[in-house]
Amino acid sequence: MEQCGLDTVCFLRFLRMGQKLSLLGIVMSFGLFPLYATGTHPMDATRSDFDPLEEITMSNVGQKDPLRVWGSVLAMYIMSIFAMYLFQEEFKVSNYYTLI
């Protein structure tokens, strides 16, 4: 902080927090992609233009498939709780820098 200033320290800490959130998203995608890929959307049988990328997205989940929807909700809660934890840790660090 003495060499680069508070702005740079905040920016670098923000980038590190984003990196941690992205890593959690990548780890959770290992569970969500197979969950979405095994779903069967009712409109797939009538479509002629099929994009393979749609197979691993939530658009492949049918309306009567609550397990796959709850998997997405659980992943959202995990990501939100982890983000709040990271924000709490950053606030502790920022309070330390204001005391200096």
Where do the structural domains in the chain lie, given as residue ranges?
6-99
Summarize pLDDT for 53-86 with one digit per residue, the tens.
877 888 778 777 888 889 999 999 999 999 999 9
Q: Give pLDDT, residue 48.
A: 61
Closest CA to 83 of 26, 17, 35, 31: 17
Closest CA to 83 of 19, 6, 7, 32: 19
DSSP 49-84: ---GGGGGSGGG--TT-HHHHHHHHHHHHHHHHHHH
Residue 45 confidence (pLDDT) above 60: no
Closest CA to 53 of 37, 31, 30: 37
Summarize pLDDT for 9-31 with one digit per residue, the tens.
888 889 999 999 999 999 999 99
